[in-house]
Structure 1
Amino acid sequence: MIIDAHIHLDHYEEKEQHEILSTLDKHKVEALISVSFDMESCLKTRTLSINDSRVKPAYGFHPEQDLPSEDYLSGLISWMEQHADEMVAVGEVGLPYYKKIESERSLNYEPYLALLERFIEFAAKWDKPIILHAVYEDAALACDLLEKHEVTKAHFHWFKGDQITVERMIRNGYFISITPDVLYEDEIQELVKSYPLQQMMVETDGPWPFEGPFTNQMTEPKMIHDSIKNIAELKGMPVSETERIVYENTKRFYRI
């Protein structure tokens, strides 16, 4: 069995959601960690989880968008507190690396850092894992805040970064998750080689599309079977053992 450690299930069309959920058993997918983008997304994710217990909800505010107002943020955090018992994690939250790159003017990071710190404080208060969108130099900033609040249950999804940060994350016990582009991206393959399998999960980040053997295909959880096969090859391990370790990592990390 496998678990998709990071998917935006609410971003799929209703027909696609039905197709994914109706074929989970067929493809030996036990559960989906379904992350949220904003308040509306949280509500949709919650409904999906109520209708299908295999959908494990995470609530948060994705950083690659304009900052929320204080009223909006306070309302979101208050709502998350009301539903803390049902959520498996805080997420997806983090820092706006790609928004910064695409911005024609310099992006003021201080408000985004303050926003991330609010969610890290929430994770610490409610003893929840936190799902992070923090890549390259942003990962070190996220590590600073995690260390400040002594949060160790951190999941850096689709991570990319330098070796110094990788070593820091390994020392701190943080987890990463690998996407299907491990089949064709050298950068991801090198990360797999250097990161301990005991701190690794697999994800799709669907509906984000992939290339290589997945070109023009709808992204769906069954793809991570191919990811695991490639991870096993890169690690020089049997596929069955790799699958078992990654599965147990995810179950333990998310307490599901």
Structure 2
Amino acid sequence: MSKRNGERPPVPELLPAPVVDAHTHLDACGAKTAEDVRELVDRAASVGVARVVTVADDLASARWVARASTWDDRVFGAVALHPTRTSEFSDADRAELAELAAQPRIVAIGETGLDYYWDYAPHDAQQDAFRWHIELSKRVGKPLMIHDRDAHEDILRILTEQGAPSTVVFHCFSGDADFARRCVDAGYVLSFAGTVTFRNAAALREAAALVPLDQLLVETDAPFLTPHPFRGRPNEPYCAAYTLRDLAALRGMAVVDLANAVNGTADRVFQLRQVTEQPGSLR
């Protein structure tokens, strides 16, 4: 399908039950102000994507995410230094990230991990930073949100060597069925983005079909990875509805049942209800 000169995909029909976009980048979608954030989450809510986790990839983004998560009660945050940005990672950087990670509406440490596709950061620097983020996740008691690109074996090895946090989420899961089974057996949660809808992604679709519902999340990774048939056009949190429907068809499930399942998984994994109900919350 044509990219339509950067035009967003059409807004789909309302889902029969609300879901969470488990990983998006509102700042990369163009949001700067509270009004910008509200516009994006209003559009998502109009199709049943009722809450979002907006994720940082560097320190400037982490500062913004921490602020943005306080602007709207449908928005939660995750902070970390992306593996491609770890060639320089100072003690001051680590101290600031740790402080941001402790904020109540930050619900995960991410995205962190390893990226061997790009050569922006040496593998040893990435691995050192990944180990530090693992320890931060355990220290603050929040899930570890993993970026894994062409690094499956090292990701699993380091999680084993370091001792995995109680909750680990593989953001934009990219492995095959065998790797999915290994992650599921380890108790990890697998989050699927628009890539799972691509018709040339047979191995990934096979993986998505076997993940237990209590270890399954749906995300956009917006503004990237727009689902089929709008691949190449700008992505937004509302497009999680397309991925959810495609996954339901793939798994032979009613859309409402899958929506309820992944919404429940997101609530449990990120403890969203506890965050919302704590003193000083936005509600």
TM range (shorter): 0.7 to 0.9
Give the C-alpha shift of residue 76 in structure 1: 2.9
Q: Determine which of 30, 42, 55 is the counterpart of 1:13.
A: 30
1:191 equivalent in structure 2: 207
1:222 equivalent in structure 2: 238
Which whole-Å CA distance do the structure 2 matches of 1:209 and 1:145 have between them? 27
Do the aligned residues in 1 keep the contact of 2:217 with 2:265 (CA within 8 Å)? Answer: yes
Which whole-Å CA distance do the structure 1 matches of 2:109 and 2:132 have between them? 11
Q: Determine which of 91, 116, 138 is the counterpart of 2:130.
A: 116
SS at match of 1:253: helix
Give the C-alpha shift of residue 159 in structure 1: 1.4
- What letter corresponds to residue 97 of structure 1 in structure 2? Y
1:2 equivalent in structure 2: 19
Worse-superposed segment, 89-98 or 16-25: 16-25
Q: How many residues align?
A: 249
CA RMSD of aligned residues (A): 2.2
- What letter corresponds to residue 187 of structure 1 in structure 2? A
Do the aligned residues in 2 keep the contact of 1:4 with 1:32 (CA within 8 Å)? Answer: yes
Q: Determine which of 153, 156, 159 is the counterpart of 1:143.
A: 156
- What letter corresponds to residue 172 of structure 2 in structure 1? W
Map of 1:44-193 to 2, 5 A cutoff? 44-80=64-100, 83-100=102-119, 108-136=122-150, 138-147=151-160, 148-184=162-198, 185-193=201-209
Give the C-alpha shift of residue 234 in structure 1: 1.4
Do the aligned residues in 2 keep the contact of 1:158 with 1:177 (CA within 8 Å)? Answer: yes
Do the aligned residues in 2 keep the contact of 1:120 with 1:145 (CA within 8 Å)? Answer: no
Worse-superposed segment, 187-196 or 151-160: 187-196
Could you give the per-residue CA deviations for residues 51-71 of structure 1, whole angstroms, max 9, x where no partner exists? 112110111111123522324
Q: Which has the higher helix share?
A: 1
Fraction of identical pairs, as percent: 26
Give the C-alpha shift of residue 139 in structure 1: 2.5
Tell me whether 1:241 sits opposite 2:227 in the alignment.
no
Which whole-Å CA distance do the structure 1 matches of 2:227 and 2:260 have between them? 27
Gaps of 5+ in 2: 1-17, 273-283
- What letter corresponds to residue 254 of structure 1 in structure 2? F
- What letter corresponds to residue 63 of structure 1 in structure 2? P
TM-score, length-scaled by structure 1: 0.88
2:14 equivalent in structure 1: none
Could you give the per-residue CA deviations for residues 125-151 of structure 1, whole angstroms, max 9, x where no partner exists? 111101100134x22222223233242
Which whole-Å CA distance do the structure 2 matches of 1:86 and 1:250 have between them? 14
Which whole-Å CA distance do the structure 2 matches of 1:99 and 1:117 have between them? 19
Question: Which of 1 and 2 has higher RCO (CA within 8 Å, sep 6+)?
Answer: 2
TM-score, length-scaled by structure 2: 0.80
